[in-house]
Amino acid sequence: MGSRRGRRVTRAGGVEDPISAIFDLSDRAAQMAPIVRRLYRYAAVILVIWLIIMAVVMISTLRGPVFLFVLAGAGFLIGFIALQLLRQTDRFFRDFVQRHRLIRMVREADPITKIPEGRTPVERLTRYLAASNPGVDTLLKETPAALRYRISLHAGKREVPFELVLGKPSDMTWRLFGFGNPGFAILARLAPDPLPIEELRRMEADALAVQEELEGAPSRLILLRSHPSPLSEDAYEYAVGHPVIVRHRFGQTRATLEVITENPDGTYDFVPQVLAVP
């Protein structure tokens, strides 16, 4: 057995920092998100057209050869299963990209969030949303009308008031079928002090009731407090552990329910801490 004396040990390239290397790979995958989303839309449209054609063939062969009817039925079933699998794949990739954005924002975020300048709590919240999320900032610059203050939306025969509504339109496939890009809608309301759990439940119910009046699917529901006080245990648990499920047509997405409090020292307090939403 030869001596190891004087032998050089060479570290394999690319593993000097395994965590950074893994995150670089995740970065490259996340950068493909626009391409994957576009391919998903094309494939979804093709499958929907296929389902329509198979449905027409099935109807036209009701009194025709049984073989053609069965064949068209099998084609319709295969197309439907393929569409469901495509939706699951798209949901997985969206979750992956969302998680990647969350990890990046946690790594880069300042642990203390200062309240921006503004005349009112809602105006300061708007500036915080723009500063903390590039998507919101771009939307406000390109489409200022997407932001509305002190507006009432219709939910059946009643009107539901909000202090702030900010939305990006969903795409056609989401509006028609419930899959595709749901856009987003941020809704905010000034909260009473103390904040009862009933107020959180009312915010959730109101947001779901007015979703047809919004440009996009509800994604962030904010109760804004300008006078800090301890949250009750049930209100805290409801905000932290209760994601809001938004159902539309054949699809669904999630919204976060959040309590944001302005502290006297000029910082925000978040329950829970929400990043990368929308």
Which of 261, 268, 160, 270 has its CA nearest to residue 218?
A: 160
The pLDDT score that the predictor gives to residue 1 is 45
- pLDDT over threshold 60, residue 2: no
Contacts of residue 125, defined as CB under 8 A and 6 or more positions apart, other chains included, come to 118, 164, 188, 222, 224, 260
pLDDT digits (tens, 9 = 90+) for 77-99: 999 999 888 888 887 777 777 66
pLDDT digits (tens, 9 = 90+) for 196-205: 999 999 999 9
User: Do residues 170 and 179 touch, judged by C-beta distance below 8 A?
Assistant: no
For the chain, the structural domain boundaries read 18-108, 121-271
Please state the rounded mean pLDDT for residues 105-119: 75
The pLDDT score that the predictor gives to residue 228 is 84
The pLDDT score that the predictor gives to residue 203 is 96
Q: For the chain, give the mean pLDDT.
A: 84
This prediction has a pTM of 0.67
The pLDDT score that the predictor gives to residue 251 is 86
Sign of CA dihedral 80, 85, 89, 95: positive
- pLDDT over threshold 60, residue 27: yes
- pLDDT over threshold 70, residue 14: no
pLDDT digits (tens, 9 = 90+) for 148-161: 999 999 998 899 99
- pLDDT over threshold 70, residue 217: yes
What CA–CA distance (Å, rounded) separates 172 from 180?
8
DSSP 154: E
Pick the range with the lowest mean pLDDT from 25-29, 61-65, 72-76, 218-222: 25-29
The pLDDT score that the predictor gives to residue 94 is 76
User: Do residues 268 and 260 touch, judged by C-beta distance below 8 A?
Assistant: yes
- pLDDT over threshold 90, residue 179: no
Pick the range with the lowest mean pLDDT from 44-48, 55-59, 72-76, 270-274: 270-274
The pLDDT score that the predictor gives to residue 89 is 84
The pLDDT score that the predictor gives to residue 229 is 85
Q: What is the CATH number of domain 121-271?
A: 3.40.1350
The pLDDT score that the predictor gives to residue 125 is 95
pLDDT digits (tens, 9 = 90+) for 246-256: 998 888 898 99
What CA–CA distance (Å, rounded) separates 123 from 233?
29
